[in-house]
């Protein structure tokens, strides 16, 4: 069987980018069971309520929903179990020191396969206030309107 190449996205947490200001991102490996990998290969997962907790010298991914594998037997995994993240010692130490600051948390942004291995993109983030969220939406809407106006002018010039 040929080895997979590239990146295949499984799940993305779009709400995290809306609710948090992303400070720094990291790529981490996941410790998974066989049925979890098979379920992920079917493209089924949800990162919506997920968060990362640092416990001693280890990082754990909590509340990520990987549904049970449909062909699994009694060896099937539980859907919301905590999963260990594979990070370098320096990365864990840096995350731990930064997450101690008030308002900082670690959230998963994306779950994907990279060259056949399951990876999760985690981010050190700071919670946005309601007015920050409105400001971000306003900027996004303004950018979209200017792009529309520019494309309309270009269409008129061509015609």
| pLDDT at 148 (0 to 100) | 92
Q: What is the pLDDT of residue 79?
A: 61
> What pLDDT is attached to residue 141?
92
β partners of residue 107: 123
Which 8-state DSSP code applies to residue 46? B
Rounded-to-integer distance, Cα 107 and Cα 98, Å: 13
**Over the chain (159 residues), what is each successive 10-residue block's mean pLDDT?**
74 85 91 82 84 89 80 64 89 88 87 89 86 84 92 87
pTM (predicted TM-score): 0.75
Q: How far apart are CA 22 and CA 12, in angstroms?
A: 15
37, burial (CB in 10 Å: exposed 0-12, middle 13-18, buried 19+): middle
Count of beta carbons in the 10 Å neighbourhood of residue 19: 15
Burial class (CB in 10 A: 0-12, 13-18, 19+), 142: exposed
Q: What is the per-residue pLDDT for 78?
A: 63
Residue 120: what pLDDT?
93
Give whole-number Cα distances, 143 to 104, 126, 128, 130, in Å: 28, 24, 20, 20
Sheet holding 20-30, edge to edge: 7-12, 104-114, 117-127, 20-30, 83-86, 58-62, 51-55
Distance of alpha carbon 90 from its chain centroid, rounded? Answer: 21
């Amino acid at each position: 069987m040929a080895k997979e190449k590239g990146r295949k996205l499984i799940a993305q947490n779009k709400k995290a980018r809306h609710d948090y200001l992303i400070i720094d991102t990291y790529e981490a490996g996941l410790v998974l069971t066989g049925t979890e990998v098979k379920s992920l290969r079917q493209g089924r997962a949800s990162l919506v309520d997920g968060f990362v907790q640092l416990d001693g010298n280890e990082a754990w991914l909590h509340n990520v929903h990987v549904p049970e594998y449909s062909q699994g037997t009694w060896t099937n995994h539980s859907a919301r179990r905590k999963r260990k993240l594979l990070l370098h010692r320096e990365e864990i130490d840096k995350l731990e020191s930064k997450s101690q600051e008030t308002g900082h948390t670690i959230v998963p942004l994306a779950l994907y396969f990279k060259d056949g291995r399951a990876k999760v993109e985690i981010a050190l983030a700071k919670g946005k206030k309601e007015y920050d969220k409105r400001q971000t939406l306003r900027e996004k809407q303004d950018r979209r309107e200017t792009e529309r106006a520019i494309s309309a002018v270009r269409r008129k010039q061509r015609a």
